[in-house]
A and B are shown apart, each in its own frame.
Chain A
Amino acid sequence: MSSSRKQILINPISKNNPVVVLMLGICSALAVTAQVKPALVMGVSVTAVLAFSNVIISLLRNTIPNRIRIIVQLVVVAALVIIVEQILKAYAYEVWGQLSVFIGLIITNCILMGRLEAFALGNTPFDSFLDGIGNGLGYTAILLIVAIARELLGSGSLMGYAVIPQSFYEGGYMNNGLMILPPMALIVVGCIIWVHRSIDKDLQEE
C-alpha cells in the first residue's frame, strides 16, 4: 500500500478526527455512549455504512447530476442503513432495542454527508473505501473513549461485566450516577478535546 493511501487511512484517526477536529457526527454519537456495548455496535455500524456508501457514491460520481446529488446520497445512505438495521434486528435484538432511533439517525450523521461531499465525489472507489474505514475508526475511537469513561465511573462495569472489585464498595466507594446522565457525555468530549489539543498544538483555535 502506498504511503498516500496509508495517510488516507491513518489521518482521520487523530489529526483529522471527524468528531473532535472536524465537528462532524456528534448528533447521534453521544446518546449511545452511556455503555460500551451499544457504543461499539454503533461505531461498527457507522464504519460499515460509511465505507460502502463512499464506494457506491464514488462509483456513481461521474453520472450523478450535480443539482440532485444530495437526494441521491441520502437515498444510498438510507438504503444501507435499512440493511444494517435489519441485520441488527435479526442478530443483536437487545442492542437494537437500546439504540432504537439512533440507528435511523445514522442517515443524517454529518460524517456521512461530509465524507461523501468532500471525498467520495472526487476520488476513486478504493481510496474512498479507505477514507470511509479511517473516518469510521476515528469516530469509533471517540465513542469508545467516552463510553469507557462513562460506564466505568457511572456503573462500575465494562461491556456489562463488573470490573470494580466489591472490596472498593465495602470501603465506601460509590458509583457516580451523574456520569450516566446525558449532559456528562458532552463534558467528557469537551475534556477529550482539551487533552487532544494540548498535545497537538496546531489544532488550537484563536
Chain B
Amino acid sequence: MEAFNIFIKSIFVDNMIFAYFLGMCSYLAVSKTVKTSVGLGIAVTFVLVVTLPINYLLDTYVLRPGALDWVSPELKSIDLSFLSFILFIAIIASFTQIVEMVVEKFTPALYSQLGIFLPLIAVNCAILGGSLFMQQRNFANIGQATAFGLGSGIGWLLAIVGIAAIREHMSYSKVPKPLRGLGISFIVTGLMGIAFMGFMGIKF
C-alpha cells in the first residue's frame, strides 16, 4: 500500500518537472510535437524504472554508512556515501549505452525513432535526480524504490506530452514576438505547475 502511495504521489504531487524542474532541458527542447515527446517520455520512464532499483541495491549494500556489514563486521564503520554521485552516474551512463545497443540490435525501427534521444537520457537530470531523491528519502524496500521510479517516469511523460500538445496548438495563436518559443513555454509550464499544485495533499 505504501508503494502505491509513493507511486501516486510521485506522479502528481512531487512531479519531476513541476515541483523540482528536473529534466527541463530535454523537456523544452523535444516538446515541439506530441509524437516525439511520447517516445522520449517512454524511454525516460524505462530507464528510471531499471536504474532506480539497481542504484537502490548499490546504496543499501555498498554505499551507506555501515552497508558493508554483510561482507565482514570489520567493515561496518566504512562510509562510502561520498562516492554515490560517481557510481550513480556510471550506472546510468553505462545502462543507457546498453539500452542503446540492445535497441539498435533487436528493434531497428524503434531505434530510428528514438535514436537521437537515447544518448541524451544519460544526461537527463530526471534520471540522476530520481536516484538522488531515492537515496535522500530512505525507502524501506526495493519495491518502494521501483514504484518511485515508475511514478516519476509517468509524471515526466504526462508533463512533456501535456506541454507538447499545448505547443502544437499554440502555433495558431498570436503570441507577442519576444515571447515566442522559449518564453511562452516557460510561462505555460509555470501555469501547468500551479494547476498541478491542486493535487497537493492527496493520499490513499
The answer to whether B197 and A181 touch across the interface, beta carbons within 8 angstroms, is yes
A110: contacting residue among B25, B119, B184, CB under 8 A: B25
CB-nearest residue of chain A to B87: A78
- Any A CB within 8 A of the CB of B42: no
Contacts A27-B22, A29-B21, A182-B18 given: A190-B132 contact, CB under 8 Å? no
A167-205 contacts to B (CB < 8 Å): 181-187, 189-191, 193-198, 201, 204-205
Give Cα A78–Cα B86 distance, bound, in whole angstroms. 5
Flag whether B187 is at the interface (Cβ < 8 A): yes
Q: Which residue of A lies closest to B96 (CB)?
A: A70
Chain A nearest Cβ from B159, distance in angstroms? 12
- Cβ contacts under 8 Å, B176 to chain A: 194
Contact of A105 with B22 in the complex, beta carbons under 8 Å:
yes
**Is the pair B182, A78 in contact by a Cβ cutoff of 8 Å?**
no
A7 is an interface residue with CB less than 8 A from chain B: no
Chain A CB within 8 A of B142 CB: no
Contact B90 A186 (CB under 8 A): no
Whether A108 pairs with B21 at a CB distance below 8 angstroms is no
A101-B122 Cα distance, complex, nearest whole Å: 17
Contact of A183 among B29, B97, B183, B194 (CB under 8 A): B194
| Number of A positions contacting B (CB below 8 A) | 49
A51-105 interface with B by 8 A CB criterion: 70-71, 74-75, 78-79, 81-82, 85-86, 100-101, 104-105
Any chain A CB within 8 A of the CB of B133?
Answer: yes
Question: Which residues does chain B contribute within 8 Å of A104, judged by CB atoms?
Answer: 84-85, 88, 128, 132
Which residues from A are CB-within-8-Å of B132? Answer: 101, 104-105
B179 neighbours in A (Cβ, 8 Å): 190, 193-194, 197
Question: How near does chain A come to B15, taking the closest CB pair, in angstroms?
Answer: 10
How far apart are the CA atoms of A181 and B94 in the complex, in Å? 36
Q: Is A107 an interface residue (CB 8 A)?
A: yes
- How distant is B3 from chain A, measured CB to nearest CB, in Å? 21
User: Which chain A residues lie closer than 8 Å to B180 at the CB level?
Assistant: 204-206
Contacts of A26 in B (CB 8 A): 21, 24-25, 28
Q: Which listed residue, A70, A101, A189, A205, touches B181 by the CB 8 Å rule?
A: A205
A-contact 0/1 string along B79-103, CB 8 Å cutoff:
0001111101110011001000000
Q: Is A23 an interface residue (CB 8 A)?
A: yes
B201 at the A interface (CB under 8 A): no
Which of B23, B124, B133, B189 is close to A186, meaning CB atoms less than 8 Å apart?
Answer: B189
A42 CB, nearest partner CB in chain B, Å:
13
- Asked if A36 CB lies within 8 Å of chain B CBs, one says no
State in angstroms the CA–CA spacing of A196 and B184 once bound together.
13
A82 touches B85 (CB 8 A): yes
Q: Find chain B residues with CB under 8 A from A82 CB.
A: 82-83, 85-86
Contact B93 A183 (CB under 8 A): no
Q: In the complex, A17→B150 CA distance in Å? A: 35
19 pairs, CB–CB < 8 Å, chain A vs chain B: A26-B21, A27-B24, A27-B129, A28-B125, A71-B90, A74-B89, A101-B136, A105-B22, A105-B128, A107-B85, A108-B127, A108-B129, A182-B19, A183-B189, A183-B192, A190-B187, A191-B187, A198-B178, A206-B180
Among all A-B residue pairs, the 3 with the closest Cβ atoms: A183-B193, A205-B181, A186-B190
Residue positions of B touching A, CB distance < 8 A: 18-25, 28-29, 82-86, 88-90, 93-94, 97, 119, 122-125, 127-129, 132-133, 136, 176-184, 186-187, 189-194, 197
Given contacts A74-B93, A107-B89, A186-B189, 17 further A-B contacts (CB under 8 A): A23-B28, A28-B22, A31-B20, A70-B119, A74-B90, A75-B86, A104-B88, A105-B22, A186-B186, A187-B186, A187-B191, A190-B187, A191-B187, A193-B178, A193-B186, A196-B178, A198-B178
